[in-house]
């Protein structure tokens, strides 16, 4: 159907969305308002999408989720290192 291109727009937007968040978090290191639960569940979920893409041999799924995985993992690592620093203080 003609409207199916909207799926590609959706995929690009929901993948690209994590770029400004990663840039902001890398720059400010402010993870106070970021939920550890969210980034734990989300990073695990995206890893599952990656495996699913590999099982299905779907390279679009693999590519989009490989990018999102790296971005979400980056935010999760900063959140965890901030939590660790706060506990040591």
**Interacting residues with a copy of itself (CB under 8 A):** 1, 3-4, 6-7, 9-21, 23-25, 28, 30-39, 41-42, 44-46, 48-49, 51-52, 55-56
In whole angstroms, the minimum distance from the beta carbon of 21 to a copy of itself comes to 4
Triad 12, 35, 19: Cα angle to 5°: 25
* Tokens representing residue 14 in the block: 């929901």
Rounded CA-CA distance 38/41 in Å is: 5
Rank residues 35 and 81 by Cβ distance to a copy of itself and give the closer one: 35
In whole angstroms, the minimum distance from the beta carbon of 15 to a copy of itself comes to 8
Place of tokens 């901030």: 82
């Amino acid at each position: 159907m003609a409207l199916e291109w909207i799926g590609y727009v959706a995929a690009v937007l929901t993948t690209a969305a994590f770029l400004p968040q990663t840039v902001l978090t890398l720059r400010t290191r402010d993870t106070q308002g970021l939920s550890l639960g969210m980034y734990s569940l989300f990073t695990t979920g995206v890893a599952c999408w990656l495996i699913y893409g590999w099982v299905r041999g779907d390279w679009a799924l693999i590519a989009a989720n490989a990018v999102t995985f790296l971005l979400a993992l980056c935010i999760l690592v900063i959140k965890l290192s901030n939590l660790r620093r706060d506990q040591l203080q």
